[in-house]
Amino acid sequence: MSARFGVNYTPRTGWFHHWLDFDLDAVRADLDAIAVLGADHVRVFAVWPLFQPNRTLIRPAALRQLGSLVDAAAERGLDVSVDGLQGHLSSFDFVPSWVSTWHRQNLFTSDLVVKGQAAYLTAIATELAGRPNFLGMSLGNEFSQFAGRLHPSAAELTVAEAEHWLQTMLAACAAGAPRAEHHHSEYDAALFDPVHPFTPQLAARLGTRTTVHSWIFNGTAKRYGGLSEQSVRLAEYLLELGRGYASDPHREVWLQEVGAPAPHVSAADAPEFTRRTLDHVLDCTGLYGVTWWCSHDVSRDLADFPELEYGLGLIDQRGRVKPEGAVFAEFAGRPPVEPAPRTLGLVLDSGATSSDDLLAPRRDTCAPGGAFFEAWMELAMAGQRPAVVLAPFAGDELHLKARRIETLVTVERL
Amino acid sequence: MSARFGVNYTPRTGWFHHWLDFDLDAVRADLDAIAVLGADHVRVFAVWPLFQPNRTLIRPAALRQLGSLVDAAAERGLDVSVDGLQGHLSSFDFVPSWVSTWHRQNLFTSDLVVKGQAAYLTAIATELAGRPNFLGMSLGNEFSQFAGRLHPSAAELTVAEAEHWLQTMLAACAAGAPRAEHHHSEYDAALFDPVHPFTPQLAARLGTRTTVHSWIFNGTAKRYGGLSEQSVRLAEYLLELGRGYASDPHREVWLQEVGAPAPHVSAADAPEFTRRTLDHVLDCTGLYGVTWWCSHDVSRDLADFPELEYGLGLIDQRGRVKPEGAVFAEFAGRPPVEPAPRTLGLVLDSGATSSDDLLAPRRDTCAPGGAFFEAWMELAMAGQRPAVVLAPFAGDELHLKARRIETLVTVERL
C-alpha cells in the first residue's frame, strides 16, 4: 500500500466563510496551489448552518457549489473527502439556529435533529456520488466534541447512544453514496477521557477506516516539548493506538489531521517537525494516508482565532509554499516504501472486559503523561517499533498472527 | 400627523434565509405585493452571522444585497427601516460563532463584542445613508431578550450597562447615517419583568422614538380571550405606556410590530382583530406609524417554527392578499384623522423615584393581570381614553400641559 498524501483545504480568502461568497475561481487558484504540493486529495468542509439553515431546507445552491468545488479538484487530479456536520472548526462552532438556544435539543438523540442531520448527509452524498474523484464523507469534524464534558453546551449521552448515532449517520452517507468510503473522526477527549461517550472502540470499528487527528497541543508539547520525540511521534502513536483498538486486524488507519502548531513548534522548526513526524508516520503499517492540516494560512484580517490557528498552512496568505510545505511536497513525491510489520505488541488495558466491549474506562492511561503513553514512547524511542494490542486481543492467536505480532509486552513488565 | 402604514418584510421564499440565496427578482415580487397593500414602508432584517461571520469580516456582498433591496423598495415607493442585530427572529436565534460556545462572551459588555457590533451597525448605516428612502436603523429585533432571565444563555447585565450598550449602538448607527432616525426595540419582559436590565425608561427615552411590539400571546389572550377588549386594545395600551414612560412629552411612539397570532385569533377572526386593533391604535396621539407583522406567511416547507408564526402574513404563500391584509389596506388607504388629545392620565407607580430614575422595580403591575393593566383597561373600556402618566411626572405641570392632560387618576382611587 502506498500512503496517500493530501491536505485539509482551508480557503485562502474568507476561510470557511467562503461559502457565503463562493467564488469558484478563487477555489481553483487554491486547488492549483495544493496540486503543486503533490497532494493527491483534499478534505473539504461544509458549514452546517449555511448548508442547512432550516431543518427542512438543505440549500440546492450550496450543494451545487460543493459539487463544483469537487469538480474543480478533479480537474487538478485531486480526490475529495467531504465533512458534513461543521460543527466545529478551529475553535469556532457552527450550530444551526434550529438546534440552538430556544430550539436547543440533544444533537445526538433528538429524533428530529437526527433525522435532519441524516437528511443533510444523504443530500451531500447524493450530490457527489456520481463524481469519480469523490472519496466519501466524514460525518463532521470532531463532532463528538459536542458530547464532551468540557463543551459549553455538552449533550448528555451514553456510549450506546453514541454508537447508534454513528451508525445512523454512516448509514445516511451510504444511502446517498453507497460505493463511497465514509468515516467519522474523533478528538483527543474521545481517546483519553474515561467518561467520554465516544470511545476509542467506536473510533476504531465504525466507518471504513479509523481516522486519527494528531495535535501536540493536547498536552504533549507542554509536557515534553514541541520537538521532543514524544511530540514528533504523537501521530505515529495515535495511529498505532487506533490499530490496537480495532477488532479487524487489517483495518486501515488514516491520519486525517496533523499539523505543526505555534508556539509549540516555532515557524523555524516547522520543517523539522514535519519531516520527523512524517518519517515516523510512514513507519506505520496499514496507513491509508496523511492529510495535513492545513493548506493555507488563515488571514490576519480575520479575528479571534486562537493564535496557533493562523500559521498552520503549508501555503502562506500570499500563496507561497512555506518551508514545511516543501517538506510535505518532498514526502508526497517519494516512491512508496512498505514498512516492515511491527512485531512487538504493547498490551493496552484500558478497561475493556472483552473483545466486544466498547468501553474504555481507564483510557486516561493513554493520554500524554499516562502510564501507557509513557511506556509506548519508551519502547519507540528505544527503536522497538511498538504496535498496540488491546488486552482482550492479547490471547487471540488469529488476531495476533494476522497483525504479524510476535512478542507481547505489558506496561507493568517494562 | 398622519400615521404611517408599513409591514415587517418576511421574504416569501426562504424566509430570512433568503440572504443565503439572495434573489433580487424574488424580493421585487414580494415588494410589489407589499406595495399593493398600500404600505408606505417596510422594516427589513439582516441576519447577523451571515452579514458578519467573523468579527472583522462584514461582508461587502451582504451590504450590497441589502442596498439593492432598499433600492428595489424605493422603486415601489417604499421607505425602509433596517434592523441589524438578528439576533432573534420568530423563535430562532442567530448568533455568530465568534460569540458562541467556546467564544462565548457577554453580548452587551464584552469590549470586543461591542466594538464588533458597533462596526457592523455603522457599516450598514454607511451603506444605506445616501439612499433617500432609508429611514434609519433599529439596533436589532428585541435584542434585549439576550439579557432576559429566561433566555437559555442569558447575559448578566446591569441597567447602567444596558443603557451604555444602547447609547453605544445608537451612536454607531449615527456614525454611519447621521441624518437618519435610529431606534431600538424591546420585548415584553423589558416592560413587565421587574428585574430585566432593559427598563421601560430606556425604551422610552433612547433612540428617535419609542417602539412598541404588541403580541397578545404575552398572556393577554390566554387570560382575557383573543378577541377580548383587552387583546384588541393591547397595542393601544402599550403605546400609551410608552408615552407615559417618556420624559419628552412630545416623543412619538411607533407600533413597530403587531399581529394576529393563531390560535389566540383564528384565521376567521383575524380581520376583525386587525380592524379593532387598528381602530384603537389610531386613537392614540403621537403615533408615528404602524408596521404590521408581517408581510408574507412562512412556508410550510420550513420546519420547526412555533405554529403561530406560519400564519401571520397579510399575504399568503401563493402571494394572495388575505382578508386581514384587505383590512390593513383599507386602513392604509384612509385619509388621516388626528385624534383628540387624551386628557385623562392614569398615574403609573412602577417604582421610579424621580423623573430621572431609570428603574421600574414594580413594573409587573403593567403586565396582563397586573393592577395597572386592569385599571387602564377598565377606563379604556368605559370610553375614557386613558393616557399614562408616570408617577414622577404627576406633579409636573409643564409636562402635563404639554401632553394636554387635564385630569389624573390613580389606580387606588378607581
Assembly ipTM: 0.96
Q: What is the pLDDT of residues B380-399, one digit of tens each?
A: 999 999 999 999 999 999 99
| Distance, C-alpha B373 to centroid of its chain | 20
The pLDDT, as a whole number, for residue A291 is: 98
Per CB-CB distance under 8 Å, the chain B contacts of A143 are: none
Q: Which amino acid is at B230?
A: Q
Sign of the torsion angle spanned by Cα atoms A188, A193, A199, A201: positive
Arithmetic mean of pLDDT, B332-358: 96
The pLDDT, as a whole number, for residue A1 is: 54
Q: How many CB pairs under 8 A join A and B?
A: 97
Per CB-CB distance under 8 Å, the chain A contacts of B112 are: 303-304
Of A15, A55, A152, the CB nearest to B101: A152
Is the pTM higher than 0.95? The answer reads yes
The pLDDT, as a whole number, for residue A47 is: 98
When scoring B55, B88, B92 by the number of chain A Cβ atoms within 10 A, the one with the most, hence best to mutate, is B92
The pLDDT, as a whole number, for residue B181 is: 98
Min Cα separation A86/chain B (Å): 11
The closest alpha carbon to A170, from A135, A122, A203, belongs to A122
Q: What is the pLDDT of residues B183-242, one digit of tens each?
A: 999 999 999 999 999 999 999 999 999 999 999 999 999 999 999 999 999 999 999 999
Per CB-CB distance under 8 Å, the chain B contacts of A17 are: 53-54, 57, 59
Min Cα separation B108/chain A (Å): 17
Strands of B128-252, DSSP E:
134-138, 210-214
3-state secondary structure B100-132: CHHHCCCCCCCHHHHHHHHHHHHHHHHHHCCCC
Distances (CA, A) of A175 to A3, A34, A52, A127, B410: 28, 31, 18, 12, 69
Q: What is the pLDDT of residues B84-96, one digit of tens each?
A: 999 999 999 999 9
The closest alpha carbon to B100, from A340, A189, A342, A94, belongs to A94
The pLDDT, as a whole number, for residue B336 is: 87
Name the phi and psi angles at A287, rounded to 5: -80, 120
Per CB-CB distance under 8 Å, the chain A contacts of B100 are: 93, 95, 100
Of A62, A97, A101, the CB nearest to B153: A101
The pLDDT, as a whole number, for residue A46 is: 98
The pLDDT, as a whole number, for residue B2 is: 80
Distances (CA, A) of A31 to A3, A77, A79, A140, A320: 20, 10, 11, 22, 13
Of A15, A59, A97, the CB nearest to B92: A97
- In which band, very low, low, confident or very high, does the pLDDT at B105 lie, cut at 50, 70 and 90? very high
- In which band, very low, low, confident or very high, does the pLDDT at B414 lie, cut at 50, 70 and 90? confident
Q: Is B285 left (phi over 0), alpha (psi -120 to 50) or beta?
A: beta
Of A15, A103, A304, the CB nearest to B103: A304
**Quick check: B92 and A104 CB within 8 A?**
no
The DSSP result for A316-368, as a single string, is -TTSPBPHHHHHHHHHHHSPP-PPPPP-EEEEE-SS--STT----TTGGGGST
Q: Both ends of chain A: CA-CA distance in Å?
A: 32
Arithmetic mean of pLDDT, B124-143: 98
Give the integer Cα–Cα distance in Å for B175 and B179: 10
The pLDDT, as a whole number, for residue B1 is: 54
Distances (CA, A) of A367 to A190, A211, A234, B377: 11, 17, 11, 67
B161-171 burial, b if ≥16 CB within 10 A, otherwise e?
bbbebbebbbe
Min Cα separation B382/chain A (Å): 40
Q: Which triple of cell numbers denotes residue A89?
A: 472548526
The closest alpha carbon to A331, from A4, A65, A1, belongs to A4
Burial (CB count within 10 angstroms: exposed 0-12, middle 13-18, buried 19+), residue B284: buried
- The 8-class DSSP code of residue B140 comes to -
**Consecutive 10-residue averages of pLDDT for chain A (414 residues):** 91 98 98 98 98 98 98 98 97 97 95 98 98 98 94 92 98 98 96 97 98 98 98 98 98 98 96 98 97 98 97 97 98 93 98 97 97 98 98 97 98 82
With CA atoms as reference, the chain B residue closest to A86 would be: B97
Asked if residues A282 and A238 have their Cβ atoms less than 8 Å apart, the reply is no
The pLDDT, as a whole number, for residue B412 is: 87
B contact set with A (CB within 8 A): 14-15, 17, 20-21, 49-50, 53-57, 59, 61-62, 91-95, 97-98, 100-104, 112, 116, 151-153, 301-304
Per CB-CB distance under 8 Å, the chain B contacts of A100 are: 93, 95, 100
